[in-house]
Structures are given as structure tokens and as C-alpha cells.
Structure 1
Amino acid sequence: MTEYEKLGSGSALLHDAVLVEITRLFGRSFAAVSTVDEIASLPVPVNQALATAEVWRARLGLKRIVVRIEDEKFWDPVWGRLVEPST
């Protein structure tokens, strides 16, 4: 199962990561993908955003994918495992 690192709401975007920002709209979860060098994509279904993030991570040589989510109760385990940031 793929693991994604949580990014706190007050945290700055890291230079070694792709950011997937998950939001709720009309009762459904959507996500946008960005990096420090790539402007955020339009919101798409979360599974599509996570797949795009993996492509960007590999293409740009970044270390990880981080997820910013307003409320963890909206995280679907089907997407993978959401873990605390590594220290």
C-alpha cells in the first residue's frame, strides 16, 4: 500500500516534494497537484491527482508526495495510507 506523508495546514511546501491538496466540494473530495516549480492543477478526483503526483515525482526527481487535507475523516484508505511526517 502506498504511503503519503501528511502536511499540516500551517506548513510550508517543501522543495523535495509534490503536494496533493485535498478539498471537499458538494460532498465529494477533489485534489490539486503542485510543486514549488509547477502551478497547481485544476481539482480532479483524488485518485487521479495521486497518480499525477507520482508521475511528477518521478519526472522531477523529487523524494516524496505530501498530502494536505482539511479533515482526515475525508481520507479514503483506498487511496493509500496517510502517515505522520518523517523527522
Structure 2
Amino acid sequence: MKLKGIELKGTYKVIYYSTWFEVYDEKGNDIYHENNKGYWEKWEHDEKGNQIYYENSDGEIIDERVKELTIEQIEKLLGYKIKIKGV
């Protein structure tokens, strides 16, 4: 099941209030909040519980996730070819 782009697998705690609801993962990390006016926030956490991603319905995004890139992708970002030296 997906909730605003978050793949929900496993056990989650959902708390409903009169004007909003919150979703927490099995480790107690907050992963989603939404109010009755449509404003929402979502988070992702690493295996240690550190926040690595945040996004809200106003378009604010904080992305600290580790990205894995191929040599070709790095070259495209840099705009030139690179050569890997021996280790």
C-alpha cells in the first residue's frame, strides 16, 4: 500500500485526532501527518532512526539520502569523462 508516495510494508501505528492524523513506523518514527485542510508532511528515516528525508505539501523537500551513481551518471553530472585510478 502507498500513502503519498510512501510504500507501507510491515506494522504501522495510526493516530487519529479531530483535525489530523499521524502515521508511525514499527520503530516509533513519524512518517506521515495530514490535517483536515489537506496539508501533509512525510519523513523517511535510516536504520538508526535518523531523519534522512522530509517533504511537505508546500513543496519543501530536505533530502539527505545516500545516492548511488554509476560512472556514466557521474560523468553526465560533471559534464566530462572521468578515469578511475587503481586502488
TM-score normalised to structure 2 length? 0.30
TM-score normalised to structure 1 length? 0.30
Between structures 1 and 2, the one with greater helix share: 1
Asked which structure has the greater RCO (Cα within 8 Å, sep 6+), the reply is 1
